[in-house]
Chains A and B, each alone.
Chain A
Amino acid sequence: MQGLLTTFQLAVIAISGGMILGVLVGMGRLSSRVCVYYPATVFVNFLRSIPLILVIFWFYFLVPILAGRPLGDFLSAAIAFIVFEASYFAEIIRAGIQSIPKGQLQAAYSTGLNYPKTMRYIIIPQALKNMIPSLLTQSVIILQDTSLAYVIGLKEFLRSGSIVDAREVRSLEIYTFVGIVYFLICFSMSTLSKRWEAKKGAVR
Chain B
Amino acid sequence: MLAYEFRWSVLWEQPYGLWMLEGIWTTIKLGLISWVFALLLGIIVGTCRVTPWRPLRLLATAYTEFFRDIPLLVQLFFWYFAAPRVLPAPIEQYLYRQVPQAEFWIVVIALSIYTSSRVAEQIRSGMQSIPVDQFHAALSTGLTYLQMYRYVTIPLAIRIMIPPLTAEFLTIFKNTSLAMTVGVLEATFMSQQIEAYTFRGLEATTGACLVYLAITMMVVFFMGIVEKRLAVPGLIARGR
Q: Hey, which bits of chain A sit against chain B, CB under 8 A?
A: 46, 49-55, 57-58, 60-62, 65-66, 68, 140, 144-145, 147-148, 150-151, 158, 161-162, 165, 171-172, 174-176, 178-179, 182-183, 186-187, 190
Q: Are B170 and A179 in contact (CB under 8 A)?
A: no
Give the complex CA separation of A176 and B83 in angstroms.
9
Chain A residue with the shortest CB-CB distance to B216: A49
Q: Which of B65, B78, B175, B208 contacts A176 (CB 8 A)?
A: B78
* Additional 11 contacts, C-beta under 8 A, given A52-B174, A61-B202: A53-B180, A57-B192, A58-B209, A68-B3, A144-B70, A144-B72, A148-B71, A158-B73, A172-B86, A179-B70, A186-B68
A-B contact pairs, 17 of them (CB 8 A): A49-B170, A51-B175, A51-B188, A53-B188, A61-B202, A62-B202, A65-B4, A66-B2, A148-B178, A150-B73, A171-B82, A172-B86, A176-B78, A186-B68, A186-B70, A187-B69, A190-B68
Report A135 CB to chain B, min CB distance, Å.
17
Question: With a CB–CB cut-off of 8 A, which chain B residues contact A145?
Answer: 71
Give the complex CA separation of A174 and B77 in angstroms.
10
Q: Are B178 and A53 in contact (CB under 8 A)?
A: yes
Chain B residue with the shortest CB-CB distance to A60: B201
Is B177 positioned at the interface, with any CB of A under 8 Å from its CB? yes
Interface-central residue, B77, B175, B202, by most chain A CB under 10 Å? B77
Give the complex CA separation of A151 and B180 in angstroms.
9
Give the complex CA separation of A190 and B64 in angstroms.
13
Question: With a CB–CB cut-off of 8 A, which chain A residues contact B208?
Answer: 54
Report B124 CB to chain A, min CB distance, Å.
14
Give the complex CA separation of A151 and B195 in angstroms.
14
Q: Are A175 and B175 in contact (CB under 8 A)?
A: no
Report A190 CB to chain B, min CB distance, Å.
7
Q: Are A172 and B85 in contact (CB under 8 A)?
A: yes
Give the complex CA separation of A57 and B73 in angstroms.
16
Q: Are B82 and A148 in contact (CB under 8 A)?
A: no
Q: Are B85 and A171 in contact (CB under 8 A)?
A: yes
Give the complex CA separation of A161 and B75 in angstroms.
13
Report B236 CB to chain A, min CB distance, Å.
15
Question: With a CB–CB cut-off of 8 A, which chain B residues contact A53?
Answer: 177-178, 180, 188
Give the complex CA separation of A182 and B74 in angstroms.
9
Is B47 positioned at the interface, with any CB of A under 8 Å from its CB? no
Is B63 positioned at the interface, with any CB of A under 8 Å from its CB? no
Give the complex CA separation of A190 and B212 in angstroms.
30
Question: With a CB–CB cut-off of 8 A, which chain A residues contact B4?
Answer: 65
Q: Are B170 and A190 in contact (CB under 8 A)?
A: no
Question: With a CB–CB cut-off of 8 A, which chain A residues contact B83?
Answer: 172
Question: With a CB–CB cut-off of 8 A, which chain B residues contact A144?
Answer: 69-72
Report B72 CB to chain A, min CB distance, Å.
8
Give the complex CA separation of A101 and B178 in angstroms.
41
Report B239 CB to chain A, min CB distance, Å.
13
Q: Hey, which bits of chain B sit against chain A, CB under 8 A?
A: 2-4, 65-66, 68-75, 77-78, 81-83, 85-86, 170, 174-178, 180-181, 188, 191-192, 195, 201-202, 205-206, 208-209, 212-213, 216-217
Interface-central residue, A62, A162, A171, A187, by most chain B CB under 10 Å? A171
Q: Are A162 and B77 in contact (CB under 8 A)?
A: yes
Chain A residue with the shortest CB-CB distance to B215: A49
Question: With a CB–CB cut-off of 8 A, which chain A residues contact B181?
Answer: 150-151
* Known A58-B209, A66-B2, A68-B3: A179·B75 in contact at CB below 8 Å: yes
Give the complex CA separation of A51 and B178 in angstroms.
9
Q: Are A175 and B78 in contact (CB under 8 A)?
A: yes
Chain B residue with the shortest CB-CB distance to A66: B2
Q: Are A50 and B209 in contact (CB under 8 A)?
A: yes
Q: Are B205 and A61 in contact (CB under 8 A)?
A: yes
Give the complex CA separation of A148 and B76 in angstroms.
12
Give the complex CA separation of A66 and B202 in angstroms.
11
Give the complex CA separation of A62 and B202 in angstroms.
6
Give the complex CA separation of A154 and B178 in angstroms.
16
Report A94 CB to chain B, min CB distance, Å.
12
Q: Are B70 and A54 in contact (CB under 8 A)?
A: no
